Structure 1
Amino acid sequence: MTEQQLHITLNSGRLSKAEINQLVDQLTAQPELVGHLLQEIFDQDGTDSFNASWTFDHLMRKKLVYLLPHFEKFTKGLEGLKSESIIRSMAHVCEFSMEAYFKTKDPVFVQNITPEQLERIVTVCFDWLIGNHKVAAKVFAMSSLYHLGQKYDWVHPELKMVLEQQVHDGTAAYKSRASKTLAKLRKAGF
């Protein structure tokens, strides 16, 4: 697949789950196209298309390491996103990458993600958590922030405060994840 073929595929109408899976299989064999896929996400923001972000999310589930050469561009592009569908996928990728860094302590992630990049994720995740966003983005953001609190000591108290303020007004899914996160925070002494 070429860059042009990728562009055409991502911008030729809504893709089915089967088409996304087929595209992910192709991209798994062509990591050199990941940067172009990431650019397509930023280009599709502001449109009603989310093919690129949906593809990216599914690709990262299989080959998260493909994100690392593009992590700077990824983190710099997060704060400008407007499309809820795109934010959802990107928040999910943030969660994956923070789990790789903090939970599994994957050396490839620990050695290649900079403090500045982590700080950008902290900022955007708090924005998603307290902003007017859909529940999936908030749930993924709170998980990322929980992990990031292992490095930034101010994050856990701030996360706890936000969750305690919002937990009663959230959806069932939000309440469930917030309750679990608050329990983890209490166990950690917050």
Structure 2
Amino acid sequence: MTEQQLHATLNSGRLSKAEITQLVDQLATQPELIGHLLDEVFAQDKTDSFNASWTFDHLMRKKLVYLLPHFEKFTKGLEGLKSESIIRSMAHVCEFSMEAYFKAKDPVFTQNISPEQLERILTVCFDWLIGEHKVAAKVFAMSSLYYLGLKYDWVHPELKMVLEQQNHRDSAGYKSRAAKTLAKLRKLGF
């Protein structure tokens, strides 16, 4: 697949789950196209399409390591996102990345993600958590912030305060994840 073919596929109308799966399988063998896919994600934020972000999310589930050469561009592009569908996918990728860094302590991630990049994710995740966003983005942001709090000691008390203040206003999914996160925070002494 070429850059032009990728662009045409991602912008040819709504892709089905099967088409996304097929595209992800193809991209899994072409890591040289990941930067172009990420460019498409950010370009589609200005449109009604979310094919690129959906593809990106599913590809990162299979090959998260493909993100690392593009992590700077990824983290710098997060704060400008407006589309809820794209924010959801990117928040999910943030969660995967923070799990690889903090939970798995994967040296490929811990040695290649800078403190500045972590701080960008931290900032945007707080924005997503406290902003007017859909539940999925908030839930993924909540998990990322929990992990980031293992490095930045001020995060856990702030996260706890936000979760306690917002817990009554949101959906059952939000309340469930918030309860689990608050339980984890209590185990850490917060």
TM-score range, shorter chain: over 0.9
Superposed displacement of residue 85, structure 1: 0.1
Superposed displacement of residue 46, structure 1: 1.9
Residues 178-189 of structure 1: matches in 2 within 5 Å?
Answer: 178-189=178-189
Give the 4+ runs in structure 1 shifted more than 3 A: none
Structure 2 residue identity aligned to 1:42:
F
Corresponding residue for residue 90 of structure 2: 90
Superposed displacement of residue 174, structure 1: 0.1
2 CA distance for matches of 1:114 and 1:168?
A: 36
Structure 2 residue identity aligned to 1:153:
D
* 1:100 match: secondary structure: helix
Structure 2 residue identity aligned to 1:123:
T
1 CA distance for matches of 2:120 and 2:157?
A: 18
Residues 25-40 of structure 1: matches in 2 within 5 Å?
Answer: 25-40=25-40
2 CA distance for matches of 1:170 and 1:46?
A: 27
Could you tell me the TM-score, scaled by structure 1's length?
1.00
Structure 1: runs of 5 or more not aligned = none
Q: Deviations over 1:71-91 (max 9, x none)?
A: 000000000000000000000
* 1:152 match: secondary structure: coil
Equivalenced residue count is 190
Corresponding residue for residue 146 of structure 1: 146
* 2:133 match: secondary structure: coil
Structure 1 residue identity aligned to 2:118:
L
Q: Deviations over 1:24-44 (max 9, x none)?
A: 000000000000000000000
Alignment root-mean-square deviation, CA: 0.3
Corresponding residue for residue 80 of structure 2: 80
2 CA distance for matches of 1:87 and 1:101?
A: 21
Corresponding residue for residue 131 of structure 2: 131
1 CA distance for matches of 2:178 and 2:170?
A: 9
1 CA distance for matches of 2:61 and 2:149?
A: 23
1 CA distance for matches of 2:75 and 2:167?
A: 27
Q: Deviations over 1:127-163 (max 9, x none)?
A: 0000000000000000000000000000000000000
1 CA distance for matches of 2:123 and 2:69?
A: 21
2 CA distance for matches of 1:44 and 1:170?
A: 28
2 CA distance for matches of 1:71 and 1:46?
A: 21
2 CA distance for matches of 1:37 and 1:70?
A: 10
1 CA distance for matches of 2:46 and 2:126?
A: 22
